Structures are given as C-alpha cells and as structure tokens.
Amino acid sequence: MQHQQNQGQQFQRSEQVPPQMNHGGHELFDAHEAISGLVGGMEQYMLYEQHIQDPELKSMLQRHQSFLTQLYNTIVETLKTGQDPTVKTQVYEMTESNDVLFGMQPTQPKTPAQSVQDINDQCISGFMMAALKSSASSFTMTALETTNPVLRRVFADSIPNLIEMAYEVFLYQNRKHYYQVPQLKQEDMHQYMNAFAPVQGGTTMH
C-alpha cells in the first residue's frame, strides 16, 4: 500500500508546476523539431534571396522572412516562459489574387540543376513551397502533442499562416506556368463531386 501511495505522489497537475516548466516530454521533442525545421526554412530563404531574378518573387520572399522571424520569436518566447508571448500570433495577408489557371501546356522534361547558375526562380519558388509545407506539417504534429495550452495555441494558430504563405507561392507558380493544374473530364468531375450525399435528418445530438 505504501508503495502505491509513493507512486501516486509522483504525479503533478499542470497548475502545480510553474508556467515555464509546464511542458511534457513529447511536446519538447516535437517543439524542438518544429522550431529547428522553421529555422532551416528561414536560413534557406536567406540563401535563395541572392539568386532571385523576379522582383515580385523577391518581395514575396522578404515578406515571408519578416513574418517567419516574428513567428519564430513568438514561439521561442512561449516555449521559455509557458505564458502568453509579448507579440501574439499574427495573421499573414497574402497579396496574390485567388485566380487559378487550369489546363496543361507542353513543357520540356525537367532535370536536376547541374550548377548554381541553373538555379532559377522556378527552382526557388519550389524550395520555398517545400519549406512551408514541411513546417505546416511539423507544426500540426506538434500542436497535437503539446500539453502547454499557450504553446499549443501558438503552434495551432500558426498553421493557417503557413498554409496561406504556401498558397501564395502556389498561385505565383501557377501564374508563371511553373505549377500547372490539370482538370478531369466534366463527367468524371461530376461523378467525384456527387460521390457522397448528406445524412438525412441533420445533426441531432443524443
């Protein structure tokens, strides 16, 4: 009985620990990985900037850099304190329109660049997309494992911003014909669109 009581005393509720210690093990591992991935993306952005030819893409990259730097500072502060950060999670506002070009046009088969001189705006926009998608994925996994309510909310609220930035890159790529969007035949599209029907009777709770 005494042994069981001693075991029970090892548990602590989150309100019993100081805010800066209100973190679980899984949370710290995942947060460390997510932050490291964000840092990697920010450092890659810094490398890409000098190779960009299109001023529009360079402007987008610089907006992303500025936003991600503030996001990084907010996450790091929250991780250290376990409390509300000085600067709360911001909302990223993209400048691209939502217009998407549908259809395919013939292009030359792509091969990996063989020198730094071969790295062009198409490559760089693809690198930006990959970094943002990676962070969106790791932030999602981290938010699902985070026990500290403030840090969890910072990670969760940041995911839509990463998605918005990635969507902005996609729209740029699409407009430049770097990212082509095929469509199904109309009858195939309708079949997929109508493959599911709503449940009858609404959402009555029992």
Per-residue pLDDT tens digits for 59-100: 999 999 999 999 999 999 999 998 899 999 999 999 888 899
- Answer whether residue 132 is part of any domain: yes
- Answer whether residue 110 is part of any domain: no
- Answer whether residue 106 is part of any domain: no
Structural domain count, the chain: 1
- Answer whether residue 112 is part of any domain: no
Q: Which structural domain range is residue 63 located in?
A: 22-94+119-193
Specify the pTM. Answer: 0.86
Count of C-beta atoms within a 10 Å radius of residue 38? 24
- Answer whether residue 126 is part of any domain: yes
- Answer whether residue 81 is part of any domain: yes
pLDDT(109) > 70: yes
Count of C-beta atoms within a 10 Å radius of residue 129? 20
- Answer whether residue 199 is part of any domain: no
- Answer whether residue 136 is part of any domain: yes
d(CA 122, CA 40): 20
